Structure 1
Amino acid sequence: MKLVRYGQPGREKAGILDRDARVRDLSGVHPDISAETLARDVLDELRSIDPETLPLVDATERIGPCVSDVSKVVCIGLNYRDHANETGKPIPSEPVLFMKATTSISGPYDDVVLPKDAEKGDWEVELGLVIGEKAQYVAEADWQRYVAGYCVVNDVSERAFQVERGGQWVKGKSSDTFCPLGPWLVTPEEIADPQALALTAEVSGEIMQEGSTRDMIFNCAEIVSYVSRFMTLLPGDVIATGTPAGVGFARNRFLKPGDTMRLSVAGLGEQRQRVVAHEDRIR
């Protein structure tokens, strides 16, 4: 099942994809894809609905972030060996955790806005885990019970803010539009093995990242268990599980206004974004 949110920012409604990948209006059943929608009994109810019986959504409608009311976005840094190597960092002995502000969340096709004084905008294609049940001290063997679905995440970064301005990474990760989510929230029965998914990122027509989730240093089970030891995960929370090699920071190639990005994770759809300057956005 592929769930989607459509409509203008702040007014999105729930949708579901039909067999032809068209969006159908689900808002008559549930108004939004929110924490309540991610409960197991609600998802089971939605699986029983034939999308072909629901109204077709106009194809010109904006697609929003695939889940609403996210309480936190938790990110795993340096979780691919090749990415750690390209940054010159040691291989972590435990998962590296950092956060993105929830105000950074945007739709999968919305513009990515480089913030004021930005110098080194960067891309990172990642597998996102969307939490469906309150999670504390989760055993690795039980991790899937707590995950309602998967999505594509672009962990957009401003490397000068992140690396050169002191302090923690969060300020280089949290500008508005720096966390495109979606296009879909894909429920687990559609993904046979989340540790065997190809990831790709293309910038202005050039392939920058090609990897697989099989190359994670810490897999999904380890990540959910580990994060839940240090904070309570709530329904709707998103964990971005890390990115493979090929980021701009390692290439000395950074985002500039006019660039385009295309990011995909196998089975989870494709994001497409245009990069714009802060000054152009506020005119």
Structure 2
Amino acid sequence: MKIARFHRPDGPTRLGRVDDDQLTDISDLVGTSLRAILPDLTELRPQILAAHGVRHALADVVLEAPIDDPQKYLGIGMNYREHAEEARQAGIPIPTSQLWFNKQVSCIVGPHDPVVKPAISDELDYEIELAVVIGRRCKNVPADRAREVIAGYLVANDVSVRDWLQKRSPTFTLGKSFDTHGPLGPWLTTDDEIADPHGLRMRLTVNGQVRQDATTDDMIYNVFEQIAYLTQVFTLMPGDILATGTPSGIGAPTRTFLQAGDVVRAEIDGLGAIENRIVAEP
């Protein structure tokens, strides 16, 4: 099951079930907040699948970030083997345990919204990531039960401002949290549709040129281990987003950074694609 947040041009935000290139409005059934229904998603599933609301072509609506108001948006650094090696070659030491950082939730934008290149930096980089959405409140979750707390998955581009990430701040938070630097989408694909989140191909292109092409089986710490690690520390809440790491091919090692006018497309098999144009800061 795929659920999107969307609006018609100049209309209010609605929720819809995605079926191929069509979208069925389910807002009269469940409301307009995807985060709010996540704890009840399993029980609501039969009603959502049977819903016969107003239908729209996907091409006629504007997709919004599926979750735009999580309590937490967390990312793990250097969690792909080949990416960790390219980072090491760029002078960044490989961590010996899970390395987590915050992306401030104000960075979140929709799957086709523009991404702003800040005037204060020329080191704007891309990172395709599998994002996990937590479905229910959870604490101290063992890895072998972590899948029970996952609502579903998104495509994420963990946009990074490298000089603020590695040079201007002792933590990753500032370089990861510029406004518009958290495009997500295109919709929530529920966990039951994905046989194995560690066997998904991911591709990122810039202006049609492939920059990243890998599979999620190159993770150092898998999705379930990540959830187990985090929930030793704090409670994860419905709608919390975990960006699970990026593969090799980022721009930093070759200093191939994004420029205004570039179009970045990130796609993960089974989850869809997001595509964002880079624009100069006004």
- TM-score, normalisation: structure 2: 0.93
Instruction: Say whether 1:99 aligns with 2:102.
Output: yes
Alpha-carbon deviation of 1:44?
A: 2.9
Distance, in Å, in 2 between the alignment partners of 1:93 and 1:32 is: 42
After superposition, where does 1:218-257 map in structure 2 within 5 Å? 218-257=221-260
**Partner in structure 1 of residue 275 of structure 2:** 272
- Structure with greater strand share of residues: 2
Task: Please list, as runs of the form range in 1=range in 2, the aligned pairs for 1:48-67 lying within 5 A after superposition.
Answer: 48-50=47-49, 53-57=52-56, 59-67=59-67
TM-score after normalising by structure 1: 0.93
Cα deviation, residue 69, structure 1: 2.1
Q: Compare 9-18 and 200-209 and name the one that shifted more.
A: 9-18
Q: How many residues align?
A: 277
2:79 matched to which residue of 1? Answer: 79
Is residue 2:149 matched to residue 1:150? no
- Stretches of 4+ moved more than 4 A in 1? 8-11
Residue of structure 2 aligned with 1:214, choices 205, 213, 217: 217
Shift of 1:52: 6.8
1:11: how far off?
Answer: 4.4
* Counterpart-to-counterpart distance in 1, 2:22 and 2:52: 12
Task: Give the aligned partner of residue 26 of structure 1.
Answer: 26
Q: What whole-Å deviation, never above 9, does each CA across 1:92-141 have from its counterpart, x for those lacking one?
A: 33111001000000001000111231210000000000001111111111
Structure 1 unpaired stretches of 5+: none
Aligned equivalents of 1:10 and 1:242: distance in 2? 35
Counterpart amino acid of residue 158 in structure 1: V
Letter in 2 for 1:14: L
Q: Who is 2:203 aligned against? A: 200
- Residue 165 (1) aligns with residue 168 (2): yes
1:271 to partner: Cα distance = 0.6
1: distance between equivalents of 2:163 and 2:85? 19
Aligned residue in 2 for 1:177: 180
Whole-Å separation in 1 of the counterparts to 2:235 and 2:141: 10
The answer on whether the counterparts of 1:4 and 1:33 sit within 8 Å (CA) in structure 2 is no
> Once structures 1 and 2 are overlaid, which stretch shifts more, 213-222 or 43-52?
43-52
Q: CA deviation at 1:60?
A: 2.4
8 Å CA contact retained: 1:123, 1:156: yes
Taking the aligned partners of 2:140 and 2:242, their CA distance within structure 1 comes to: 16
- Helix, strand or coil at the partner of 2:213: strand
1:128 paired residue number: 131
CA contact 2:26–2:51 (8 Å) conserved in 1: no
What is the aligned-residue RMSD (CA, Å)?
1.7
Task: Give the deviation of 1:22 after TM superposition.
Answer: 1.1
Q: Structure 1 51/9 Cα, relative in aligned 2: closer, same or farther at 3 Å?
A: farther
User: 1: CA distance between counterparts of 2:10 and 2:162?
Assistant: 27
- The 1:77/1:11 distance shift into structure 2, 3 A limit, reads farther
CA–CA distance in structure 1, aligned partners of residues 276 and 82 of structure 2: 25
Are the counterparts in 1 of residues 111 and 184 from structure 2 also a CA contact under 8 Å? Answer: yes
| Cα separation, partners in 2 of 1:9 and 1:101, compared to 1, 3 Å | farther
Maintained 8 Å contact 2:66/2:187: yes
The alpha-carbon deviation at position 169 of structure 1 amounts to 1.0
Kindly state the Cα deviation for residue 180 of structure 1 after the two structures are TM-superposed: 0.7
Residues in 2 aligned to 1:42 and 1:243: alpha-carbon distance in whole angstroms: 28
Q: Which residue of 1 aligns with 2:142?
A: 139
Residue by residue, what CA displacement relative to the aligned partner does 1:157-181 show, whole Å, maximum 9, x if unpaired?
1101111213211111101111111
Whether 2:262 is the aligned partner of 1:259: answer: yes
What per-residue deviation string (whole Å, max 9, x for no partner) do you get for residues 39-84 of structure 1?
Answer: 1x33332334346722113532210001242111010100001111
Structure 2 SS opposite 1:166? coil
CA contact (8 A) 1:127 1:240 kept: yes
